[in-house]
Structures are given as structure tokens and as C-alpha cells.
Amino acid sequence: MKPNIWQRSSTSKRIIVKRIPYPVLKRHLTRATFIFLALPYLIFFYGWLHWWLAILMTVVCLLPIVWDWKRPQEASTPAQEELSIQFWQIAVVCGAALLFVLISGIGGWGWQTSDWLKHNMVLRDLIAQPWPLYYQLEGVQLPLVYYLAYYLPAALVGKVFGWVVANQVLLIESWVGLSLTFLWGLVLIKRSWWKAVLLIGFFAGLDVVGYLLMAPATQALLGTPLSIRDFEWWSIGWIYFSFTHVLFWVPNQGFAGWLAMSLLLKEWFDRERRYTLWYLGLTTLWSPFITFGLLPFVLVDWISDHRSLLDWIRKYSLPNLCGVLLGGLVGLMYLAKFYPMPSQVGGNIIFTLIFTFARNPLEVIAIALLIALFWLFECGLYGILTWKLLDQDDRQSRLLLAIVLIYLAILPLFQYGYYNELVHKTSIPALFALTIIIGRILWKNNRKRGMQVALTILLAIGSVTALINIGFQL
């Protein structure tokens, strides 16, 4: 059935666009997301690879996009077409995304957090230096091995038009990425469009509660009080970033995590498994942390699928083979990090169980209690109430929620890097999935109205984190 998105005006006899059904919007979002995530790869190929390999990888990168574009679209049901959004509402959503981006510091329009020292340095060097990028350290020439996808479109333009224009391109790229994220959110949540945008944009854990609880203890534990600017680090050793924190500090991680998770959730809720390895491959150059954060969802989804893995491979082998090749190529670049380096420039990255830092049994108990409290305030209370609100026969959502909560409970057990990047970056896809699940049941007609109210109150308390972060930016 062809969706009726065009309606004739009774007064002017002109054809005007009134609304777009969610199934149609979903198809357009899928294609736009593919292009958004794949574009940096095309730039990377011709800046880092030999010309013959660049051409081959271009074909590999574009084949799944063409495959999906030419795939026959399934007819939508009348019930699906009832869910629609008007174009002025889409414009408001994109306007809200632009407002968030303008105050984030991206492009130099607003105050920039300290992480932008790194972002600006990478972008500047990509503009000023020839590709591939090398550095001279202690007389040793070393390549830059880093996830560069976010910076490459702006850097390419900056090589021609300079630093200022490059920053505006980065702002536009970020605006497109955040607009896609918000639009995916309302399509996946399938409730009020403006409530969906508010939920996503202001989603955060109960950091304020944790800060008020732990602030008096930090003076005794650390010998220094916990600053209000560091309130999201209230648990001392761990942090699950709020949506605004990701946007203001590590947008390169956020866009990949939010958009790739949206693609996976689309297939999850539509009960179809088509391009999961392609989605993983698309994230590798954006951030290997995000790729790792998506893996549990892909693995459990495969295990729970009633079809055999062989049937899945036969039907969708080409896009997923391209995903493997794409991820494998970028993975080879990351392996250069493990190449033995001279002692004067070498260094070790911490990767261990968090309990190895304990000096006695009492500290082991303290760490365990703190992890439990951290999980409870950052996602556990949300998850418990959401679990009780989900329908008993909604196995898809229950399985998804279980993966989220278990995964977010396991991550704090490990320490990777000085700032524990494994925890706060790898968790981005799971936290976005939690937001979507909450949105799908929060405004649904439910006899457990008291639990919905309680969950709403907790979310309102959590949103104070987003308001404080926005206040720091203004």
C-alpha cells in the first residue's frame, strides 16, 4: 500500500505535503544514516590507502547502500500509516538539534569543554599536515592511529578553505547527526514527538542524588571536596555520561553510538536481522569503543533468532561481508597501536579488574558497594521500574532491557585507561537503548499508573544533570 503523504488543498488546488508516515520516515532515516556514517570512510580511503585499494574499499563501502536502496520496500499497513509526523514538526525537531549543537561548543560557537583541546588539535593537524598523518616524537616518526571519522569531512573542506570554514562544516555535520538522532528517537518510541525529543535530550542518571550522597564522603576519601563541575563523577571511579555530556565532550563517540544503535533497534523491533555486521563495520572508524558497545546486542540477537545463522548468511551475505571487510581494514590500522615502540615514546595502557586496586578486604567490599550504588542510580532504578511496566508477552523489549542492565552492571568491573574510557564510552549505545525502551512504555496506557508516575519523577530528577550541563555551557 502506497502511503498517502500528499494531500490536495481544498482552497488553492495546490498539492501540498501534510504529513509523512513513520514507515516512510524510517526508510529515509535509514538511507540518510548510512550516508552520514559512511562518508568519512570514503575520505579516509583516498587519504590513507593506495589508490587501487581505495577504489576496492569504495566499492565495498557503497555496495550495501545501493543494495538497501534497490531492495523492494514492504507495504505498510493502515495501522502503521496512522503514525505520522507533519513536516513543521520535523522542522522543530531539527531546530531543537541546532540549538543543542550551538551551545555545545562545536564549531567554536559556544563555550568548549577541555576535551575540545584534543578535538581542535586533531582537526588542526588534519587540515595543516599531509595525509596520512605522522608525528615526530623523540626522533621517531610515528603514524597517528586514532578514530578519525568525525573530523574527516571538516578537515577535507578545511584543506581548501581554511580553519574557520572547517569549523562551520563540523557544526553542520554535528547538526545533521543530532537531527537524525532525535528523529530516530521519535520513530522508535512511537509516542508524542516532542516528548520523545525531551526524553532523549535530557536523559541522564540520578547524578544529583549520587553527588548529594557522596560529596560529604569525598573529603575523607580523597582529601579534597568534589567540585560541582565534576558532579557526574560522584562515584569517584566511574561515570555513565548523560546525553548532554556526550554531546558537549565526546560528540564523535555519541553520533556513532546513537545512530548505529538506532539502526540495530529498528531491526530489533521490526523483527528482522539484515545488516547487523554492516552496522558494526560502519562504527569502527568512528570509535572502536562504540563497536565494542554494540557487540553484546548483536550476539544475543543472533542467539535468540529462530532462524539458523546459515540462513541469515545466505540471505544477507553481501552487506554483512562488506561490514566485515570494512571493520577488518580499520581494525588492521588499530593493531598498529600494539607495534613495539622505542622506550622513549612507549607507554602502557591500564587494563585490569577494578578490584586489583583494593589493598585489603575492606576496600574490596567498599568497591563492590560503590559499584552497586553506581549501577542503581545511573540505570538500575530506571530499569527495574521499566521491567515492571513492560508487558509480559513483550519478549523483545524484555530481552533488550535485560542485555542493557546486565551489560551496564558488568562494565564497571573493569578499568581501561586513566579515565576508564571503557566504561563511559562503551556504555553510550546501551544507555541510548535504555532511553528508547523507557520512552516506548512511559506514555503507553498502562494499569500500573503509579509506576509510570514514579518513573517520570525519577527522570525529572535525572534531567537536572542535563540542565546543569547546559548551564555550564551558557
pLDDT band at 74 (very low <50, low <70, confident <90, very high): low
Task: Please name every residue paired with 143 in a beta bridge, in sequence order, or none if there are none.
Answer: 134
pLDDT band at 343 (very low <50, low <70, confident <90, very high): low
Whole-angstrom distance, CA of residue 404 vs CA of residue 433? 7
Cell 593493531, residue located: 335
Read off the pLDDT of each residue in 278-306 and give the average, rounded to a whole number.
88
Name 200's Cβ contacts closer than 8 Å, sequence gap at least 6: 181, 182, 185, 243, 432, 435, 439
Q: Which of 145, 132, 142 is nearest to 342 (CA)?
A: 142
Q: pLDDT over 90 for what percent of the chain?
A: 55
- Tell me the pLDDT tens digit for each residue of 406-461: 999 999 998 887 778 889 899 999 999 999 999 999 887 777 888 899 999 999 99
Q: How far apart are CA 262 and CA 34, in angstroms?
A: 11
What does the alpha-carbon distance between residue 343 and residue 19 come to, in Å, rounded to a whole number? Answer: 63
Is residue 339 helix, strand or coil? coil
Phi first, then psi, for residue 142 (nearest 5°) are: -130, 140
Could you tell me if 295 and 411 are in contact, meaning their C-beta atoms sit under 8 angstroms apart? no
Residue 269: pLDDT over 90: no
* Cβ neighbours around 19 below 10 Å, total: 20
pTM: 0.91
Give the integer Cα–Cα distance in Å for 76 and 325: 33
Q: How many CB atoms lie within 10 A of CB 236?
A: 16
Q: What is the three-class DSSP state of 223? A: coil
Q: Which of 189-198, 264-273, 300-309 has the highest mean pLDDT?
A: 189-198
Q: Please, which pLDDT band fits residue 124 given cuts at 50, 70 and 90?
A: very high
Mean pLDDT, rounded, for 397-401? 92
Provide the H-helix boundaries in 141-192: 152-161, 163-189
